[in-house]
């Protein structure tokens, strides 16, 4: 009986710990997959509120896949499958730079190309690649988040890398 | 190791020193590093986990969803409780019938037994338990025609009358308790002693004393035919009955209420009725409004 009580997500402490464990990964996953336009933060909120409403039905082991599936579905409801354009932080030109304007221009061109190339990736490729390169997550961690095999992650990321390099060369 | 394996291991941060050397010797090493480094500029916005958690928790608390699975059940339970309560209340409720002064009424009981209720009387029975228990409570006077069936009980404060399909009259007034059997067999339980009455037999108790009466010859009590008949009964009983039938009050001067009276009075005409009860005893009466003063002529 006591064990069962502890397993209930309706308890605020357990709910909070689940939130702390998964919300950031969920947010980044949504961001890389769908971009910023569709408010990934709001979707994370909504997904966890839904988890709370169903806390009696969802076991803690299922909580992760529940919120990921819920948030993903919420996004898909809104996303009319437009191109996902990720924003990049502009490296601010230093006040006294010894880099030539030519170099800076080339640099800007490269970033724009990369932006377009990322938008050309499939959702599956982009989410895996960005989690790997930007968040520094290893294949195994990504596999756990996406509920797929490590081999599949490797394939997606490697495929993404090849496609990016090809696109950048062509653009 | 071929190129693809090297790049995959690099991507997975899984290169040993030897592999790293080999990776660095790849012709597109610089391109790969540049691509990888540039990608970092596309990092997702900072995500403040604890701030977001507080937002979620406040949303949850405002919507008060935690009660959402309790409330519908509570509503259903409340409705059921009310319905059941109402059902229980209405089915166990007794049917009550009362008559006022100078009023008579006929009642049909659920099994086609009939009751005629005399003036200023009260009868109660339960429709729903009738099948199992034919019990009526009586205060006052009533004539019963009981259909054949299970035991039929008339419960009064003086005693209980038990029958099986018969016709009988029960009169219970203050210290007066009379049962007359007209047909069938009637059992009267008085002071936990049962007396059996055959047709024509009567059972009379006045002030706790049993009084013997002669055989009843009429097929129904006289009051059914709008007459009150008395055979050797104390005069005050006659006056009490008169008050019930005509809504009047008697004031009697120097009259012996205990003297016995035999006779009858009608329920339809107060002047004739008054004469019927005063002339035999040589009394005079004067009437003002609803008060009648009786005087002895002597």
DSSP of chain A, one letter per residue? -HHHHHT-TTSHHHHHHHHHHHHHHHHHHHHHHH-STT-HHHHHHHHHHHHHHTTTTS-HHHHHHHHHHHHHHHHHHH----------PPPPPPSS--S-HHHHHHHHHHHHHHHHHHHHS-HHHHHHHHHHHTS---HHHHHHHHTS-HHHHHHHHHHHHHHHHHHHHH-
For residue B11, list chain A residues with Cβ-Cβ distance below 8 A.
Answer: 132-133, 139, 154, 157-158, 161
B256-291 CB burial, b ≥16 within 10 A, e <16: eeeeebeebbebeebeebbebbbeebebebeeeeee
pLDDT the model gives residue A106: 85
Provide the domain count of chain A. Answer: 2
pLDDT the model gives residue B153: 87
Distance from CA of B82 to the nearest CA of A (A): 29
- Inter-chain contact B47–A56, Cβ cutoff 8 Å? no
Strands B260-266 and B227-234: antiparallel
On whether residue A13 sits in a domain, the answer given is yes
Asked if A87 reaches chain B (Cβ–Cβ under 8 Å), the answer is yes
A107 and A41 share a domain?
no
On whether residue A38 sits in a domain, the answer given is yes
Are B150 and B179 within 8 A, CB to CB?
A: no
Give the tens place of pLDDT for each residue, A11-61.
888 889 999 999 999 999 999 888 887 888 888 999 999 998 888 888 888
> Which one has a higher pLDDT value, B261 or A93?
B261
Asked if A136 reaches chain B (Cβ–Cβ under 8 Å), the answer is yes
Please report, for residues B54, B57, B66, the alpha-carbon distance to residue B50 in angstroms, rounded to integers and kept in the order given.
Answer: 6, 10, 22
For residue A20, list chain B residues with Cβ-Cβ distance below 8 A.
Answer: 49-50, 53
Distance from CA of B78 to the nearest CA of A (A): 23
- For residue A168, the chain B residue with the least C-alpha distance is B35
Closest in A134, A154, A158 to B43, CB measured: A134
Average the pLDDT over A116-140 and give the result: 89
Closest in B7, B34, B42 to A130, CB measured: B42
A107 and A72 share a domain?
no
On whether residue A87 sits in a domain, the answer given is no
On whether residue A15 sits in a domain, the answer given is yes
A110 and A141 share a domain?
yes
Helix (H, G, I), strand (E, B) or coil at B179: strand
Helix axes A123-133, A150-170, angle to 10 degrees: 100
Q: Which of A16, A46, A78 is the last residue of a domain?
A: A78
On whether residue A117 sits in a domain, the answer given is yes
A49 and A106 share a domain?
no
Distance CA B244, CA B254 (A): 22
Can you name the residues that pair with B249 across neighbouring β-strands?
A: B291
Strands B134-145 and B114-117: antiparallel
- Is residue B67 pLDDT above 60, yes or no? no
Q: Which of A47, A78, A109 is the last residue of a domain?
A: A78
Please report, for residues B77, B95, B293, the alpha-carbon distance to residue B235 in angstroms, rounded to integers and kept in the order given.
Answer: 63, 35, 15
Helix (H, G, I), strand (E, B) or coil at B92: helix
pLDDT the model gives residue B9: 86
Token duo for residue B255: 């009259």
Distance CA B180, CA B199 (A): 8
Report the share of chain B in percent with pLDDT over 70.
Answer: 96
A67 and A109 share a domain?
no
3-state secondary structure B238-256: HHHHHHHHHCCEEEECCCC
A8 and A74 share a domain?
yes
CATH number at residue A160: 1.10.10.10
On whether residue A84 sits in a domain, the answer given is no
> Which one has a higher pLDDT value, B184 or A30?
A30
A131: domain range?
101-170
A7 and A71 share a domain?
yes
On whether residue A128 sits in a domain, the answer given is yes
Closest in A130, A158, A165 to B31, CB measured: A165
Average the pLDDT over B173-199 and give the result: 84
pLDDT the model gives residue A3: 47
Average the pLDDT over B178-204 and give the result: 84
Asked if A79 reaches chain B (Cβ–Cβ under 8 Å), the answer is no
Give the tens place of pLDDT for each residue, B152-183.
888 888 888 888 667 888 888 888 888 888 88
Q: Which positions 35-74 of A are in contact with B (Cβ < 8 Å)?
A: 36, 40-41, 44-45, 48-49, 52-53, 56
Give the tens place of pLDDT for each residue, B117-161.
888 899 988 887 777 788 888 898 898 888 777 778 888 888 888
pLDDT the model gives residue B64: 58
Asked if A165 reaches chain B (Cβ–Cβ under 8 Å), the answer is yes
A124 and A61 share a domain?
no
- Inter-chain contact A49–B7, Cβ cutoff 8 Å? no
- Inter-chain contact A154–B56, Cβ cutoff 8 Å? no
pLDDT the model gives residue A48: 92
CATH number at residue A48: 1.10.1740
A109 and A154 share a domain?
yes
On whether residue A158 sits in a domain, the answer given is yes
A55 and A121 share a domain?
no
A70 and A108 share a domain?
no
- Is residue B216 pLDDT above 90, yes or no? no
A21 and A57 share a domain?
yes
For residue B69, list chain A residues with Cβ-Cβ distance below 8 A.
Answer: 56
């Amino acid at each position: 009986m006591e064990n069962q009580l502890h397993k209930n997500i309706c308890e605020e402490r357990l709910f909070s710990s689940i939130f702390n464990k998964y919300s950031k990964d969920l947010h980044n996953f949504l961001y890389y997959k769908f971009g910023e336009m569709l408010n990934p933060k709001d979707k994370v909120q909504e997904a966890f509120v839904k988890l709370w409403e169903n806390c009696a039905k969802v076991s803690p082991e299922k909580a992760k896949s529940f919120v990921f599936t819920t948030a993903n579905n919420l996004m898909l409801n809104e996303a009319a499958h437009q191109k996902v354009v990720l924003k990049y932080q502009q490296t601010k030109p230093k006040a006294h730079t010894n880099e030539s304007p030519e170099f800076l221009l080339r640099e800007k061109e490269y970033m724009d190309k990369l932006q377009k190339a990322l938008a050309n990736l499939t959702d599956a490729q982009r989410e895996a690649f960005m989690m790997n390169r930007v968040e520094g997550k290893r294949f195994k961690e990504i596999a756990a988040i996406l509920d797929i095999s490590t081999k599949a992650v490797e394939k997606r990321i490697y495929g993404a890398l090849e496609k990016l390099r090809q696109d950048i060369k062509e653009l | 190791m071929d190129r693809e394996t090297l790049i995959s291991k690099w991507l997975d941060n899984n290169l040993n020193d030897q592999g790293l050397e080999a990776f660095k010797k790849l012709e597109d090493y610089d391109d790969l590093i540049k691509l990888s480094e540039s990608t970092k500029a596309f990092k997702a916005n900072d995500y403040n986990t604890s701030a977001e958690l507080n937002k979620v928790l406040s949303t949850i608390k405002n919507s008060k969803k935690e009660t959402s699975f309790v409330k519908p059940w509570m509503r259903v339970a409340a409705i059921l409780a009310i319905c059941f309560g109402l059902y229980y209340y209405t089915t166990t409720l007794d049917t009550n019938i009362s008559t006022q002064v100078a009023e008579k009424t006929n009642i049909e009981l659920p099994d086609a037994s009939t009751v005629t209720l005399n003036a200023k009387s009260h009868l109660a029975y339960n429709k729903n338990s009738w099948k199992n228990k034919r019990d009526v409570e009586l205060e006052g006077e009533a004539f019963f025609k009981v259909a054949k069936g299970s035991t039929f009980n008339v419960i009064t404060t003086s005693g209980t009358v038990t029958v099986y399909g018969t016709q009988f009259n029960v009169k219970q007034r203050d210290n007066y308790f009379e049962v007359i059997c007209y047909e069938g067999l009637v059992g009267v339980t008085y002071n936990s002693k049962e007396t059996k009455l055959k047709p024509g037999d009567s059972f009379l108790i006045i002030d706790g004393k049993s009084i013997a009466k002669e055989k009843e010859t009429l097929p129904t009590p006289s009051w059914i035919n709008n007459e009150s008949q008395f055979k050797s009964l104390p005069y005050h009983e006659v006056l009490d009955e008169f008050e019930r039938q005509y809504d009047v009050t008697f004031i009697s001067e120097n009259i012996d209420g205990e003297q016995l009276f035999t006779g009858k009075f009608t329920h339809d005409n107060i002047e004739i009725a008054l004469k019927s009860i005063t002339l035999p005893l040589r009394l005079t009466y004067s009437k003002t409004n609803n008060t009648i003063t009786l005087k002895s002529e002597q």
